[in-house]
Structure 1
Amino acid sequence: MATWNSRGLRGSLLEDLINRSNETYQEKGLALIQKIPTPITPLKIDKENRHITLAYFDQKSTVDYIGCVQGVAVCFDAKECTSDTFALQNIHPHQMHFMEEFEKQGGVSFLIVYFTSRDEVFYLPFADIRRFWERMEAGGRKSFRYEELDREYLLHRGHGVLIPYLEGLQKDLLKR
């Protein structure tokens, strides 16, 4: 049973930025993306402040976000990394399976990875995720390094969007 407590806010800055970006994209009529809540069962509740202080995850969740971008089905997960090395253990096998199946159905799967020490955000296409995952399964590195990422997918804030992942999606679609 996995529990949630002090690590519960990890990634909340990135998710807040993505949520705001999703609102902007929706307002502009460019995309409709929904945050998928992680199903939990509360164990302890601070009744005075009405906050969950301890809970367990009911089931394995899939990805953080799912939706549609101008007729293209997309799903993606948001990950933060404090160093220049991203441990693949942060991607769960059931998430890989879901993204793989999503791709087989004609959708586009990807990660948004925030390197906090560099204050840089990357769009990571599923083809790259799969390559790193297969390398790990073949006995290679259990992580990927910042230097291994395609700089073309570095996302630059602008045009009123905090995390402009549609730019990465557009590049990803052109390479398919």
Structure 2
Amino acid sequence: MPSWNSRGLRGSMLEEMINLTNAKYREKGLALIQKVPTPITPINIDKENRHITLAYFEQKSTVDYIGVVQGIPVCFDAKECAVDTFNINNVHEHQINFMKEFEQQEGIAFLLIYYKKRDIYYYLPFQQLLEFWERAQQGGRKSFRFDELDGSYQIPMQNGCCIHYLEILKKDLNSRDIT
């Protein structure tokens, strides 16, 4: 089982920015998106400071966030990438399966990726993620490069702390053949 403290604070700043964005969306009545807690089993607890120092995940998580945007169910996972190449192994099979089932129920699934080197936030529609995933499963590249992505899905920063992904979600919705 993976150790809870072995992951450190990886992704915590990205998640904090998404949480701030989601709070603003909720305040304005635009969306209701919540962070999905990952159930853990504590192993070691620092009784003096009342902190968990070692724990294990009870089960595989699905995605980081789930909710609704003006009647449209959405789910997404947040990922950080230090370089221009995103390793597809950063997305697990159970997450792909969950997102696929979510979309089959007429929801919208996607990844929000922060490219640290470029300081760019990117909205990756599930359909494109699935293409990269299937390519890897069929023996192709086990990653995708930043230059393979559609630049129009970059997420604009606002106020230095908000990752305004709803505009790009709308673009994703408009690109789908929904009848």
TM-score (norm 2): 0.95
Deviates more, 1:18-27 or 1:7-16: 7-16
Q: Aligned with 1:5: secondary structure?
A: helix
Q: State the 1:61 CA deviation.
A: 0.8
| CA spacing shift, 1:110–1:64, aligned 2, 3 Å | same
Distance 1:58 1:106 in 2: 29
Aligned to 2:166: 166
Q: Equivalent residue for 1:130? A: 130
What does 1:130-149 align with in structure 2 at a 5 Å threshold? 130-149=130-149
Deviations 1:15-61 (A, max 9, x none): 00000000000011000001000111011112222221111100011
Aligned length: 176
TM-score (norm 1): 0.97
SS at the partner of 2:123? Answer: strand
Q: C-alpha distance in 2, partners of 1:15/1:52?
A: 20
Q: Counterparts of 2:114 and 2:131 in 1: how far apart (Å)?
A: 19
Distance in 2 (CA, whole Å) between partners of 1:148 and 1:167 is: 21
Counterpart-to-counterpart distance in 1, 2:80 and 2:161: 19
Provide structure 2 residue ranges, at least 5 long, that are not aligned to the other structure. none
Tell me, yes or no, if the aligned pair for 1:35 and 1:65 is still in contact at 8 Å. yes
Percent identity, aligned pairs only? Answer: 64
Task: Check the 8 A contact 1:41/1:57 in 2, yes or no.
Answer: yes
Q: Output aligned runs, 1:59-98, within 5 Å.
A: 59-98=59-98
Deviations 1:64-91 (A, max 9, x none): 0000000000000000011111111110
Q: Residues 8-157 of structure 1 correspond to what in structure 2 (within 5 A)?
A: 8-157=8-157
Q: Distance in 2 between matches of 1:83 and 1:44?
A: 34
Aligned alpha-carbon RMSD (Å): 1.2
**Deviation >6 Å, runs of 4+:** none
